[in-house]
A and B are shown apart, each in its own frame.
Chain A
Amino acid sequence: MVAGSFLPLIVALALAPLMQGVIIRTKSVVAGRQGQPLTQPYWDLWKLLHKGAVYSQTTSWIFQLGPVVWLVSLLLALTLIPFGGFPALSSFSGDFIVVAYLMALGRFSTVLAALDTGSSFEGMGASREVTFSALAEPALLLSFAALARQTERISLSPVLTAISWSAWAHSAPTFSLTLAALLIVLLAENARIPVDDPTTHLELTMIHEVMVLDHSGPDFAMIQYGSALKMWLFAAIIIGVAPPWHRGGPWAETAVSLAGMMVFAIATGLVESSMARLRLLRVPQLLLVAIVLSALAVAL
């Protein structure tokens, strides 16, 4: 276990909702509206935290535990993610497997909470969420395996710092395949178009949003904040794998990575504005493509 820097965690905690704001703002601008202020997600969280939570009489303690486990597992996963030139708070051999399973734990808790409400609608969402994440997980783990094999390191912080220009020049195909696979996994895991539409409510095709319909007040704030953190986590890994344009010192690198994150958020907004959601039956095919891409990256 190597002690690292607090900076990646602090940056993630502070700026994850801003990233959501940038995505929403981009979509508004493309649609020809002015859109909400960039800080709106923060105000939404603030508002939710000051409300009371309403619990249905059919739910049990599992329902109240769900959001807490969700948020805590994502916070723990974030301590393992490096950012910019700074290593993660902690790193040890095989920590990317822990990251994958912490996210699985968080998802498991929200699924249980959704099932606990006894609503058939939420049960449907839970079933879809589990189906698609079961397909996204092999792609994620194979991508990590490809990165580990290429850089010959088995911990996220060293892996991402080892990706340099010379590494890209040496094995560009592997990295680009991994990048493409991770991008698809990000879209699927974060309930983004073309897999799921984060803005729809009460639609029969939605996946993630349907599971959290019964949460309110601080519980819902935890879910929202957790989703923002999850998006940040995936984007940070993708920015870490992307071609490194930076050379001077960890601070300059962090600044460039932050700019990269914002560009990435704008790009996500553009993708969401220009694409339609896939039919539910086609989603497994998209995830299968991600698995094939990452498997090919491992084999290279």
Chain B
Amino acid sequence: MNKMTRQFEGYSFIGLWIIGFMAFSLGPLLFSLIISFFKWSLLDKPVFIGLKNYIDMFKLDPLFWKSLKVTFTYAVVSVPLGLIVSLLLAILLNLKLKGMGIFRTLFYLPSVITGVAAAVLWMWVLQPDFGILNYFLSFLGIQGPDWLGDPNWALTSLIMMSVWGSGGGIVIFLAGLQNIPQLLYDVSSIDGATKFRQFRAITIPMITPSIFFNLIMGVIGAFRTFTQGYVMTNGGPLNSTYFYALYIYNKAFQDLQMGYAAALSWILFIIIAVLTLLVFKTSSSWVYYETERKG
């Protein structure tokens, strides 16, 4: 009886969440899996076509490959770059200087701005004729490119922009850095360790859990990139910023191919899941937890 009551209490506490999860996450998830085996325009009856959506994707659809390539390129460059920049900034922001609070706020500020507003802001920064970036470059005697208009530069521009928004990562790193016991630095400096040696042998290992977290979130975020492509470039010029998520959206709501779009989403899900799993699998060899004993 007592055990029953307690179980009931437990379930009723998480009940609301479970209902929400079933209705708004699990339900749609299963529905999209089922619909990925159908041809469905949203307006007429779904027609079962088996694996055809998946087969066509790999066999017939050059845009599937193109958008995959764009998204992978973006992820492969922007994620490590974002990690390095935010770690370096976090280290700078961890110095004990006057007015550091202001700098911390300033560097975090970009992450507070929502996607669309940031996208519009950057369109102006990158404007070729009177954008601020090309204006600064002109002082150095450099004629800046047509950032978003040149197919060779557009993706680079968006990667640049992604680094600007790495404030969230900075905060995590900053917290990680502040968790490192001062003791370790003191002891090592008695042993004659240089600053660089301390960074390599203490800071980096101690901060690996934060790197791990930021890496996972970065990979997931990069593969879901949508707003920049949708607002700033509309996938162009010449499909050079045609992100996978944008392609899913266009297939669903422009071409009314819901089944195909659902199939595309599941491929994205598998890609993200596999990559996340890979990072997790390798993590035991490079992530260190203080509370953990390595045998």
A in complex with B = no
